[in-house]
Structure 1
Amino acid sequence: MSLKAVTLALALLAITGAHADVSARQVADVVWNYFTQLTGNAKETMEQIQQSEISKQLNTLFQDNLQNVNSYAGDLQKKLIPFATELHAKLSQDSEKLKEQIRQELEDLRVKLSPYADEVHQQISKNVQELQLKLSPYAEELRGQVNQNADLLRQQLAPYAQELRDKLQENVDGLQASLAPYAEQLQQQIDKNVADMKEKLAPLADALQVKIDQNVEELRKQLAPYAQDVQDKLNHQLEGLSFQMKKGAEDLRAKLSESADELRLKLNPYAEELKEKLRTDAEGLRQSLGPYVEGLSGQMEQKIEEFRQTVGPYGEAFNKQLVQKVEEMRQKLGPYAGEVEDHLSFLEKDVRDKVASFFSTIKQIEN
């Protein structure tokens, strides 16, 4: 990730007019993205910029929109920048140490579970099958919701093209006045339908998080009899599994929201184009609007269909991702597992927990 990309991520946080505008998750994303970006650079480059650059960019986060920064945000800025800078510096120190800790933890688990390798394999395979059964209805529901909302949006927008055609047959002298409301109505209809779509799709991601909790707890119970004396280490690994799976659910929610916003951005120009054409002189208005109106319905339907085709499969892809995470857990606990490569997941979890704790402390002090 380039520094420009990190700057864009930070820019998302430069709206600090209210308490809800800067969330623990957003700040955790910034710190973690910055850390992972720096780890790809040469060591000397990291030493040069890791202490100064994140502080500068976090400071920019609050300074970009000074007119929106209230006293709460200003106070948060003073506390957040030193905290985030210190946390970021600590990541580099903790990474290798944590990798060794996870390696030893997994080795202890493997030794303890080795006499029961077949049983453990069967229990995890059983858990995978149960997970697939539980997730399948959600993938179907997501696809159904996407199809339903796409059809509804298509139905809501289709009449505008026909009404515009009808208006074009009326008197030219009153054409601009009669068409002006349609431009605003089209814009409002697009915004409303996309907002409704986001509201309907979001609960699916929440329901998936509940299923993830249930599945991980069931897996813990299934493996507990084989992990006596190392239960804490097993629980730690399952916490990491739960974190990765829930992060996937959060990413799914974000993708659904972003896709809906992208659809709105693709449809908005049709309303803007109508507004622009209505600013032309009355003489050329009919000629200018003719091709626009004829192509309006088909073009909007094409954008909606592209959205449906893209977003519909998200559920199936998410399900495969979760199943893969559980399969990876089975491989990690197997006798021939390779090197530890997922310690960063635990490090990321620690970052997010620390940021959440920081925000919780700030809130308690404020109250």
Structure 2
Amino acid sequence: MILKAVIMSLALVAGRSAIPEMNDDNSNFAFSADAVATVVWDYLSQLNNNASGTVEQIAELTQKLKNIFKENMWLRFHDKLFPDEMEKMLVTFALDLYKCLTKDLQRKKEEIQKELEDLQVEIEPHFQEVRQKIRDNARLLEEHLEPYSSVLKRHVDRMSFLNAQVMKCIKDLENGPSDNAEHLQALVPSMPNKIKENITVNLLKFQANLMVFKQEVKKTIDQFMKELSHSLAPFLKDMHKLDHQLEGLSFQLNKEMLKLVANFSARIYELWKLLDPLPDAMPKVNKEELQKFLSKLNGIVEEQVKIFQCKVSSYIETFNKAMEQKVEEFGQKLETHAGYMEDHLIFLEKDLKDKVKSSFKILKEVQNRNIENLPNPQGAGTEPCPLVQNSTGLA
């Protein structure tokens, strides 16, 4: 009932859908749902055995959920606060999920542990062959991911050209008459917008490439799971339990991919937010002042791009290592008498995220059916910057 109440409330308060259309609608929508599910899961993971939660934990959860919905523009009410009833419902929803999950925690733990023990017994006579098959498939996964990682690295390198329009403005000034007021009057007014547009467009291109990376890596993971299941099938009489464990592995690999995309998107938005206001301070006094300003602006853009590249340079390497580690851990836990890795938590998190994503799909259907009949609040048509729509939601 709580879940249904949250869905209906969101549908009623959404003035207009502003889900980004940089890529396909469903892709961005699913990512928003994953962002909400991640926040709720992180919150539940911190509660331990306290079903009520501390005041600080509830406040933190509420604020994070507020930010996600505002950034993704579910709530399009201009200059209005997050509705109190929505806040209460979302927190109640999270607490209800917590109670449900903790109730099933021990049962789930016992089920997964028994499942792994049964798999270990059946695989034991063929364990060396099974481990070799897993390693062979892991190498193939690494080979298939490498081209996408390389492309992403190249996009990071190309960020060095983010100052291209600033450099063009500097050249336009240098090539113009030294003391021609009319020339400056014609040239200067368009400079700030051109610089801002160049920055925004290039960052949006990066974001679009990031979404392509996300989709291609997801396809690669799906293909890897099929091949791994097929290669291990000869060693098992019943594949049901193994396929269930493979679902857990697939969830972990996709989670690492989403983390990578989210980290990149956060840095993209961070960079845009820092650079976008700077051209507005451009002086309109004389050529010398303009040249000084543009030179300083060029230095700032170059510096911030280097900081950006430094921040994200480790993301891809960390991602590749994490993918390798998850597959290695999967092979280890199939070994007889392997230490228990609390796999039930993986499946609890997967169940939670599946429920939230399913709920968001229902919300979208309700929203699409009712959107034409909803009032458009004053100011709701004001469009935010594209990067607010396309990057912050992914963060």
The bucket for the TM-score relative to the shorter chain is 0.7 to 0.9
Q: Which moved more, 1:77-86 or 1:357-366?
A: 77-86
Percent same amino acid at aligned positions?
32
Code of the aligned partner of 1:158: M
CA change 1:288–1:120 in 2 (3 A) is: same
CA change 1:268–1:251 in 2 (3 A) is: same
User: For each residue in 1:27-84, what CA deviation from the matched residue of structure 2 results, as whole angstroms up to 9, or x when unmatched?
Assistant: 5543542343354346447356699879977997889967369xxx999999977755
Code of the aligned partner of 1:225: P
User: Could you tell me how far 1:139 is from its partner in structure 2?
Assistant: 1.6
Q: Distance in 1 between matches of 2:100 and 2:177?
A: 67
TM-score normalized by structure 2? 0.72
| Structure 1 counterpart of 2:116, from 106, 112, 125 | 106
User: For each residue in 1:151-195, what CA deviation from the matched residue of structure 2 results, as whole angstroms up to 9, or x when unmatched?
Assistant: 443434421233345569334687566422211221122112211
Q: Which moved more, 1:120-129 or 1:159-168?
A: 159-168
User: Could you tell me how far 1:318 is from its partner in structure 2?
Assistant: 2.0
Conserved 8 A contact 1:245-1:322? yes
Q: Structure 2: any 5+ residue segments left out of the alignment?
A: 1-12, 20-27, 370-395
Conserved 8 A contact 1:105-1:233? yes
Q: Distance in 2 between matches of 1:105 and 1:183?
A: 62
Conserved 8 A contact 1:241-1:325? yes
Q: Distance in 2 between matches of 1:350 and 1:130?
A: 29
| Structure 2 counterpart of 1:142, from 147, 152, 164 | 152
User: Could you tell me how far 1:96 is from its partner in structure 2?
Assistant: 3.1
Residue in 1 aligned with 2:319? 318
Q: Which moved more, 1:83-92 or 1:118-127?
A: 83-92
User: Could you tell me how far 1:122 is from its partner in structure 2?
Assistant: 0.9
CA change 1:16–1:255 in 2 (3 A) is: farther
Code of the aligned partner of 2:124: S
Conserved 8 A contact 2:163-2:302? yes
Residue in 2 aligned with 1:208? 217
CA change 1:17–1:96 in 2 (3 A) is: farther
Q: Distance in 2 between matches of 1:353 and 1:214?
A: 20
Superposed, 1:1-367 pairs within 5 Å as: 16-19=14-17, 21=19, 23=29, 25-41=31-47, 43-44=49-50, 46=52, 67=77, 85-147=95-157, 149-164=158-173, 169-171=178-180, 175=184, 178-229=187-238, 231-274=239-282, 277-278=283-284, 282=285, 288-362=289-363
User: For each residue in 1:216-249, what CA deviation from the matched residue of structure 2 results, as whole angstroms up to 9, or x when unmatched?
Assistant: 11111111121213x2111011001111111222
Q: Which moved more, 1:56-65 or 1:263-272?
A: 56-65
User: Could you tell me how far 1:336 is from its partner in structure 2?
Assistant: 3.9
CA change 1:127–1:24 in 2 (3 A) is: closer
User: Could you tell me how far 1:359 is from its partner in structure 2?
Assistant: 3.4
Conserved 8 A contact 2:196-2:279? yes
Q: Distance in 2 between matches of 1:362 and 1:79?
A: 15
SS of 1:67's equivalent in the other structure is: coil
CA change 1:137–1:54 in 2 (3 A) is: closer
Q: Distance in 2 between matches of 1:59 and 1:95?
A: 25
Q: Distance in 2 between matches of 1:52 and 1:317?
A: 31
SS of 2:46's equivalent in the other structure is: coil
Code of the aligned partner of 1:135: L
Q: Distance in 2 between matches of 1:187 and 1:361?
A: 38
Code of the aligned partner of 1:251: K
Alpha-carbon RMSD across the aligned residues, in angstroms, is 3.9
CA change 1:53–1:86 in 2 (3 A) is: farther
CA change 1:260–1:55 in 2 (3 A) is: closer
SS of 2:52's equivalent in the other structure is: helix
Q: Which has the higher helix share?
A: 1
User: Could you tell me how far 1:25 is from its partner in structure 2?
Assistant: 4.7
Q: Distance in 1 between matches of 2:259 and 2:57?
A: 29
